[in-house]
Amino acid sequence: MNAPNSSGWKPGTPEAPEGASGIETVTGNRGLMLEEPLIFEIGGSDTCGVDLPEPSRDTNRLGGLARSEPLGLPGLSEPETVRHYTRLSRQNYAIDCGIFPLGSCTMKHNPRLNEKVARMPGFADLHPLQPESTVQGALGVIDELAHWLITLTGMHSVAMSPKAGAHGELCGILCIRAALEARGDARSVILVPESAHGTNPATAAFAGYAVENIPATAEGRVDLPALKARLGPDVAALMITNPNTCGLFEREMKAISDAVHAAGALVYCDGANFNAIVGRVRPGDLGVDAMHINLHKTFSTPHGGGGPGSGPVVLSEALAPFAPLPFVRAVEGGFELIEEEDGVAAAPQSFGRMTAFHGQMGMFTRALAYILSHGIDGLRQVSGDAVLNANYLLRSLDDVLDAPFGGTGPCMHEALFSDEGFADGVATLDVAKALIDEGFHPMTMYFPLVVHGAMLVEPTECESKATLDQFILALRSIAERAKAGDQSLHQAPRLAPRRRLDETLAARQPVLTYEG
């Protein structure tokens, strides 16, 4: 078997990690953290991990379309393959490794109970095209989860099929568009507060609306008089996030909704931050017409590299008739799935279909397992602990980091800091990269846009005080270096497998093919 670096990649090339303390190794490995080249560099197209008999020519049914040259895919033996991917996986940071304080992302622990439930053969081995009579249990799960989501939000109904938060936003806005068109009142503008997540204006534009910003007050909340002044017969909806992305609850939400409704428009709430209020506040009581719920945030299903998202959308009575197909309906003795064929009769005003099948079934089972294992009192404690943890971080750091809205009272589930007070030449990016050297995933940075050099830290309810104290210790020391103008911060990360990358170039000109 080849040693990992025996072909292609050469130690000491610019890709190799230089030791921060000047320690370099001939292999590029650092202790037991192994440098790993690309599979194209170590594999050969003449190597294969399995022995298969040569196929007999008579079984070739490709006619003249058989490939004339080898495919050129790299091959490795089985143990080399296992090691390649295991080594790569060790260079990845995950919620199972430590705190993942990405603000707005709610990177919380994925309970193993959820995983066990999702892997039960009765759920895991289903096919979406199986006859309805053979999947009654799965339809029952969708229906029960729907019931919980409706109850927790105080809304009228829920569209389960959207596959992520942003997909849910599109679902909600398409419901709003269909409702307005049904009353012969097509409108052209969607208002979005300036602190909104980028997906909000993107969704509105994708659905064909012009987007206009609503400014924030000095306290980081929606400016109600400015909103009222802009409302008019051309406004279709307001897209508002509550709690908002500054980590603050929009206290005037009811007045905001009333003003929007009085102008004949509808209220879309971005529910990605539901983790901060679940079990305590029902958006339906605040006048919300549509809100997506990120099951992969509030209800702990894996996300990021760990799994697909899921973004069911709860709807008010006014919007319910326009919800997408398919949906599950309880009938005498079981459940039925309403598809296009039935849709004309069962849901004549539905705006149509958004996904191939019924939604993210694996996420539904996980979310329901989470909800049932917590119960209503447990979910209430989730939001309480999430807010407590964020306030502990805020108050433990606001003497070294500027907290723009810290003076106006407690935050919700995330603590927001700015780069105010950093020495010239030191930026938020340097602080985030220095956290990597301390063994922490960086926080969300440069978002929300309303705060200069923003650092948005969301600990979630899952972290212990000991973990928070360690994180605080690391961030405090980096913040002090940033204020003192420690220029070595520009070198961070020094201990990661890769040093600082040109992320803009990587995003603008991604190199997606290997040229040997």
Ligand X SMILES: *Cc1c(COP(=O)(O)O)cnc(C)c1O
Q: Which residues bind ligand X (CB under 6 A)?
A: 104-105, 164-166, 197, 199, 241, 245, 270, 272, 294, 309, 311
Question: What minimum distance in Å lies between the beta carbon of 163 and ligand X?
Answer: 8
C-beta of 102: minimal distance to ligand X in Å? 9
Find the residue with minimal CB distance to ligand X. 165
Q: Which amino acid is at 38?
A: L
Nearer to ligand X, 105 or 496 (CB): 105
When the beta carbons of 270 and 402 are compared against ligand X, the nearer one is 270
- Alpha-carbon gap, residue 362 to 119, rounded angstroms: 8
Cis peptide before 55 (omega within 30 of 0): no
**Nearest-approach distance from CB 159 to ligand X, in angstroms:** 15
- Please list the alpha-helical segments (H only) found in 125-196: 136-153, 165-182
Residue among 16 and 291 whose Cβ is closer to ligand X: 291
Nearer to ligand X by Cβ, of 242 and 316: the residue is 242
Nearer to ligand X, 43 or 309 (CB): 309
Q: C-beta of 19: minimal distance to ligand X in Å? A: 37
Would you say 273 or 389 has its CB closer to ligand X?
A: 273
Q: How far is the CB of 204 from ligand X (least distance, A)?
A: 13
What is the smallest separation between the CB atom of 180 and ligand X, expressed in angstroms?
23
The label of the residue with tokens 């509105």 reads: 204
Is residue 338 classed as helix, strand or coil in its secondary structure? strand
Name the minimum Å distance from CB 164 to ligand X.
Answer: 4
Q: At what angle do helices 165-182 and 199-206 cross, to 10 degrees?
A: 40
220: alpha, beta or left? (left if phi > 0; alpha if psi -120 to 50): left
Is 459 or 497 the residue whose CB approaches ligand X more closely? Answer: 459
| Residue 146 CB-half CA count within 13 A | 22
The stretches of 104-164 forming alpha helices (DSSP H) are 112-118, 121-124, 136-153
**CA gap 378, 381 in Å, rounded:** 5
Q: Which residues contact 145 (CB under 8 A, 6 or more apart)?
A: 160, 312, 364, 367, 368, 371
